A and B are shown apart, each in its own frame.
Chain A
Amino acid sequence: MSDDRDEHKPVKPVLWARLLFVLPFVAMLWVSSYNRIEPMVAGIPFYYWYQLLWILIAAVLIGIVYRVER
């Protein structure tokens, strides 16, 4: 666990890590890449599960950047 001093320690930005943040923007704005039915997962069309999956991927990427910069 981090103590109180750690909480307010300045964060050193790590550029290569932050570049990971480009991925969710590219993935989500490239609409034609996911506007399709197949492959389905458990009866859910690609369009829906793929976008939901990106919520998780983006969260993991942010977690990675947090770890790296801590």
Chain B
Amino acid sequence: MAINWTALVVFVVLFVFITFLGFFAGRWRRGDLDQLHEWGLGGRRFGTVVAWFLIGGDLYTAYTFIAVPALLYGAGALGFFAVPYTVMIYPLLYLVFPRLWSVARKHGYVTAADFVRGRFGNKWLALAVAVTGIVATMPYIALQLVGMQVVIGAMGIETSGWVGDLPLIIAFVVLAAFTYSSGLRAPAMIAVVKDTLIYITVFAIIIAVPMKLGGYGPVFSAIPAPKLLLPVPPSGTWGMFSAYGTLALGSACALFLYPHSITGILSSSSGRVVRRNAALLPAYSLLLGLLALVGFMAVAVGVAKMPEFADGFKRYSNNFSVPAIIIAMFPSWFVGVAFSAIAIGALVPAAIMSIATANTYTRNIYKEFLNPAATDAQESQMAKIVSLVIKAGALVFIFFVPLQYALWLQLLGGVWMIQTVPSVILGLYTRFFNGTALLIGWIVGFGAGTWLVMENNFAPVYPFHVLGTTFPCYIALAMLVLNLVVSTVLSLVLNAVASDKHLDKTVASDYV
């Protein structure tokens, strides 16, 4: 592939601009960055608009924008499960997470595990929640790099070998430096630029491409019939219908438990900001849903058969479909804008994820187990350093470990993350559960889920046999049910013989 100079220049200019913005962000709404909640939560000061950009930029990552259309491009209708998934997350956000915001503000909690520690007084349960968050997020950070790699490669820069890794290394050093110095304020500020670029790009694609093709009719008529809808299940099985529904529901239950989601929510300035954003953030879902259709447009345009893209598809497989259609349909300068939107779109969530995991390590491992006497400044310093280590780890991961492992680990991450629903989400509503019971439930769900995913050759849906019919179900959701049964039964027993309810440091009025 020849280097696309115009696109590259636009790309570099925008990248340099957001780098300055990242460093400048430390002075914005200035706070004492030697405090963890200032560095790692932006001082809990973000109002409705900034929180909208921050949480939106955090949840709808560059990888999403590449992978969801790629899934439609490859698998057809099944790939659309991202849409019902994003429909179901916002009622959950409205109902559940303002409660977490309020109790966290009252007690100075920075992470979900902080809350669990205070609510159940069980440091091992809090450790389980913390470790789950960290291991589920690590592969996610690595996948953000994939989004960047694809667009850098698509501009004609060689991405194999030592020299090829250089652009990615530079981008990550920049990211690491401004995260270290500015904390959460940096991705918050950059998210505003990034999302503006993303909105421009997506609207340009979904308007211009169907116009050139003569409307959405030709786009959908280019899709082979079996991929246009889910196959109707044969008798005796729920088939793809239950697979589709449970994938959406299970993903929705897990999403806001990821440390980077919690960090975004807790950085808001009030519970009302969170509630308001539950009604406003669906704008991003609409964007994602429309962008998903670009996967079909790529089929209709026939990018896979164009010789200039053969190399790209060979290297990045279906993930190349979005970059390919952008190159095929738009002038070079716009390619530069679109690609920088995707690349910057990788930096924002990567920054928030590394801050969130750093907060979690610092609060729930370092301070809890290694240095209980740590001062505020030591805490903040430790988090800054850990955020660097995590990013270096993601970089090493993407260079030395096959991409397939990152995808597998991300799948497992969903199965693991959902196991914290009983402790965190249900814990916000009831103190019925016993800390030890929750921990055992978590161990069972985590262990059985991991085993089943591996047994199932890393396919997310397993055909369970229930009462004579087959019910294909997202493994994460099934294992959450198992976890809930174990936690409930053991709580009934343990509450009777060795209740731990007196350990609860929170009171009902903390949850408003």
Query: Which residues does A use to contact B, with CB under 8 Å?
Result: 2, 6-8, 10-11, 18, 21, 24-25, 27-29, 31-32, 35-37, 42-45, 47-48, 51-52, 54-56, 58-59, 61-63, 65-66
Contacts and interface: CB of A to CB of B under 8 A. Distances in A.
A43 to B, nearest CB: 3
A37 B248 contact: no
A62 B94 contact: yes
A47 B216 contact: no
Interface residues on chain B, size class? 35 or more
A24 B279 CA distance: 13
Interface stretch (B112-120, B266-274, B314-322, B379-387): B266-274
Q: Is the interface of A mostly helix, strand, loop or mixed?
A: helix
Interface string B482-509: 0000000000000000000000000000
A54 B88 CA distance: 10
Interface string B253-282: 000000000000000011111011011101
Contacts of A8: 270-272
A66 B83 CA distance: 23
A13 B229 CA distance: 39
Interface string B49-76: 0000000000000000000000000000
Interface stretch (B123-131, B153-161, B285-293, B305-313): B285-293
Contacts of B230: 31, 35
A47 B229 contact: yes
Contacts, number: 117
Interface in B73-108: 77, 80, 83-84, 86-88, 90-91, 94-95, 98
B91 A59 contact: no
A28 B286 contact: no
A14 to B, nearest CB: 12
A52 B83 contact: yes
Contacts of B77: 35, 47
A61 B229 CA distance: 27
A62 B80 contact: no
25 contacts: A6-B272, A7-B272, A7-B273, A8-B271, A8-B272, A10-B512, A11-B275, A25-B88, A25-B91, A25-B249, A28-B248, A29-B248, A32-B241, A35-B230, A42-B215, A42-B217, A55-B87, A58-B87, A58-B88, A59-B283, A62-B90, A62-B278, A65-B94, A66-B275, A66-B276
B245 interface: yes
